[in-house]
Amino acid sequence: MITKEQQVPKMIDSVHQQFDKAADIMDLNPDIRKILAQTNNEIVVHFPVRLDNGSVEVFTGYRVQHNNALGPYKGGLRYHPAIELDDAKALAIWMTWKTSLAGLPYGGGKGGIQLDPSKYSMSELERITRRFTHALGDNIGPEYDIPAPDVNTNAQIMAWIADTYMSTKQPNERSKYSHVVTGKPVNSGGLRGRDRATGYGVVVTLKAWAEWRKTTLKGKKYIVQGFGNVGQWASVFMHDNGAILTAVQDASGSIFNENGIDPTDLLLYMKANNGVIANYPKAVPLTHDDFFAVDCDVCIPAALGNQITEQNAAGIKAKVIAEGANGPTTPEGESILREKGVDIIPDILCNSGGVIGSYFEWLQNRSGEIWEFEDVITRLEKKILDSFSRVVGTSEAYQTDLRTAAYIEAIKRIELTYNDRGVFP
Q: Where are the alpha helices (DSSP H) in 340-401?
A: 347-350, 353-367, 373-398
- Apex 29 CA angle, 421 and 92, nearest 5: 75
Q: Give the bridge partners for 48, in sequence order.
A: 58
From the list 234, 387, 393, the residue with the least C-alpha distance to 303 is 234
Q: Which of 110, 184, 220, 221 is catalytic?
A: 110
CA 86 to chain centre: 16
418 φ, ψ to 5°?
-65, -35
Contact status, residue 277 vs residue 252, Cβ threshold 8 Å? yes
Q: How far is 210 from 213, CA to CA, in rounded Å?
A: 5
- Residue type (1 letter), 111: G
Residue ranges of E strands in 69-208: 73-79, 107-113, 145-149
Contact status, residue 61 vs residue 153, Cβ threshold 8 Å? no
> What string of H, E and C letters represents the secondary structure of 295-329?
CCCEEEECCCCCCECCCCHHHCCCCEEECCCCCCE
Q: How far is 157 from 135, CA to CA, in rounded Å?
A: 16
Q: How far is 382 from 302, CA to CA, in rounded Å?
A: 22
Q: Computed from CA positions of residues 382, 386, 392, 393, in that sequence, does the dihedral angle turn out positive or negative?
A: positive
Q: How far is 278 from 271, CA to CA, in rounded Å?
A: 12
Contact status, residue 13 vs residue 398, Cβ threshold 8 Å? no
Residues 6+ apart with CB under 8 A from 376: 191, 192, 193, 194, 197, 357, 360
- Residue type (1 letter), 400: T
Contact status, residue 221 vs residue 243, Cβ threshold 8 Å? yes
- Active-site residue flag, 207: no
Q: How far is 139 from 376, CA to CA, in rounded Å?
A: 29
Contact status, residue 283 vs residue 255, Cβ threshold 8 Å? yes
Helix, strand or coil, per DSSP, at residue 273: coil
Catalytic site residues?
110
